[in-house]
Amino acid sequence: MDFSFTEEQTMLHESIERFVQNDYSFDDRQKHAGSDLGYDAGNWNTFAELGWLGVPFSEADGGFGGGAVESSLMMEQFGHGLVIEPYLATVVLAGGAIKHGGSEAQKAKLLPGIIDGSTQAALAYAEPQARFNLADITTTATAEGDGYVLNGYKAVVLNGPAAQLIVVSARTSGEQRDQDGITLFVVDPKAAGVSRRDYPTVDAFRASEITLEGVKVDADSVIGEVGKGYAVLEQTIDEGILAIGSEAVGCMEKLYKETVEYCRQREQFGQAIGKFQVLQHRMVDMFMEHEQSKSLMFMAAMRMDEGYGPEAQKAISAFKVQIGKSGKFVGQNAVQLHGGMGMTEELNIGHYFKRLTIIDTLFGNADFHLKRFGAL
């Protein structure tokens, strides 16, 4: 593992760190999370102006040319600030699927809007019956004329309410859980036959249930090869795991540091509660969970940058297992050590805990990834 960061990586890290520290207060975040849009359009434009929306895309596609390490450094800082803007859904998931599977023409057509901030996007991959199995797809795409007709139901589509472009996984052949026979399509959410039910998630993001009834798309909407969409989906989701895991690392750092600070100041029985050994040990364990997660974050990011394959997948699953376990421990103990304060809406602690809890579930929880790790 090489920890010598490039000048570009260092600058990227520092610029996001400055933004989160100086321009992204918790109160503003809460205000934007409660708005109609669910995030701040001004912040999104700032992300675009600073080039952050182009970080994972190649320079040929108009991006920054960054890899997994850059993505991790960025998301870790987003985790510190509990950033609510839909970077994961638009850039990492939808953008990632187009990046990995799209033709040159599709990339030229779709990525500039994502990079300049004018396009919000989403990846509709989950279905109600599938739990965490990416291949469990009942939504169908039937060839008709020069295009396809989509029918089915996609669950918990992150950023669905704001998306102007949705990448949908559908079955063009094979059985319900076959990895072969899955195809990815670009769908316009305003197209005839697409209906949405929007809702907030418990961590203050937005999502939708999407029904597809006789939705017609042309052949140019197919991302990658027909029937070969699973590989693209798997790699994209693994990048998503690295992104949310890195975000969780940032959340955990914030939680353990604020807890330590609180315990140094809060007095009980005539002394700061941080002087009690039993609480000290608990905070050390929080610190340890964060450090382990952060170290695995770098390991996973570096494996991904070395090339996507079984080794990288194994590292990603190990990271996700750690994140699930550590996030739960750090979140629960931060709430516990803050006493009743930890449960209040006004204090940020509970909000970080909610985000960590959701991150464990997203893209497969710790149990799911432990099995995947063992099978790889």
Partner 1 sequence: MNASDWQHEARAFIADHWPGPERLGHPGAYQLASAGWYEALGTAGWSVAHWPARTDSTTGRGMSWSRQRLYQWQMFCHQALTPPVNTLAMSLVAPLLMAHGSEQQRGLLLSEIAAFDGHWCLGLLEPVNAATPEPTRLRVMNDKILLNGEKRALADGLLASTELPKDRLWPARILCIALDDAQQWRACLLPTDRNGIELRPVPNAQGRWFHVTLNEVPVEPGELLTLSGDALLSALAQPELLSESVLPEANSLGLAEQLRLLRTELTTNTHEDTDTLLTQLYEAEVALQSLRALENRALAPVSSVLSTPLPIPALSLKAQELGQQIGALQLASFGYYALPDTSALREHNEGPIHPRGDASGKTAMITSQALSALASSHYGWNPRDILAKQWLGLGQTLQADEEPSRHS
Q: Does 162 bind partner 1 (CB under 8 A)?
A: no
Restricting to residues 188-247, name those near partner 1 by CB under 8 A.
none
Q: Does 262 bind partner 1 (CB under 8 A)?
A: no
Residue 12 near residue 74 (C-beta atoms within 8 A): yes
Q: Does 138 bind partner 1 (CB under 8 A)?
A: no
The nearest distance, CB 153 to partner 1, in angstroms, is: 33
Residue 139 near residue 151 (C-beta atoms within 8 A): yes
Q: Which helix (H) or strand (E) holds 56?
A: none
- Chain position carrying tokens 């080794």: 311
Residue of the chain from 116, 234, 258, 291 that contacts partner 1 (CB under 8 A): 291
Q: Does 283 bind partner 1 (CB under 8 A)?
A: yes
Q: Does 53 bind partner 1 (CB under 8 A)?
A: no
Determine the interface stretch with partner 1 among 23-31, 228-236, 293-301, 332-340 (rule: CB under 8 A): 293-301
Q: Does 9 bind partner 1 (CB under 8 A)?
A: yes
Q: Does 364 bind partner 1 (CB under 8 A)?
A: no
Q: Output the six-digit token pair for 289.
A: 């969970």
Q: Does 260 bind partner 1 (CB under 8 A)?
A: yes
- Cα(181)–Cα(203) distance, rounded to whole angstroms? 34
- Cα(348)–Cα(27) distance, rounded to whole angstroms? 9
Residue 89 near residue 123 (C-beta atoms within 8 A): yes
Q: How would you class 277 by CB atoms within 10 Å of its CB: exposed for 0-12, middle for 13-18, buried for 19 or more?
A: exposed
Restricting to residues 70-109, name those near partner 1 by CB under 8 A.
73
Residue of the chain from 15, 280, 332, 357 that contacts partner 1 (CB under 8 A): 280
The nearest distance, CB 283 to partner 1, in angstroms, is: 6
Determine the interface stretch with partner 1 among 59-67, 98-106, 119-127, 274-282 (rule: CB under 8 A): 274-282
SS3 content of the chain, % helix, strand, coil (to 5): 55, 15, 30
Residue 99 near residue 61 (C-beta atoms within 8 A): yes
Which lies closer to partner 1 via its Cβ, residue 153 or residue 276?
276
- Cα(261)–Cα(274) distance, rounded to whole angstroms? 9
Q: Output the six-digit token pair for 249.
A: 């690392």
Residue of the chain from 121, 263, 316, 356 that contacts partner 1 (CB under 8 A): 263
Which lies closer to partner 1 via its Cβ, residue 1 or residue 202?
1
The nearest distance, CB 9 to partner 1, in angstroms, is: 7
Give strand pairing partners of 171.
140, 182
Give strand pairing partners of 210.
154, 196
Q: Does 292 bind partner 1 (CB under 8 A)?
A: yes
Phi, psi of 198 (to 5 degrees): -95, 150
- Cα(222)–Cα(168) distance, rounded to whole angstroms? 10
Task: Provide Rg for the chain, Cα atoms.
Answer: 21
Size of the site for partner 1 (CB under 8 A): 37
Residue of the chain from 29, 294, 351, 355 that contacts partner 1 (CB under 8 A): 294
Give strand pairing partners of 344.
none
Restricting to residues 296-335, name those near partner 1 by CB under 8 A.
296, 298-299, 315, 318, 321-322
The nearest distance, CB 277 to partner 1, in angstroms, is: 7
Using CB under 8 A as the criterion, which residues of the chain lie in contact with partner 1 when the complex forms?
1, 3-5, 9-10, 13-14, 73, 260, 263-264, 274-275, 277, 280-281, 283-285, 287-288, 291-292, 294-296, 298-299, 315, 318, 321-322, 370-371, 373-374
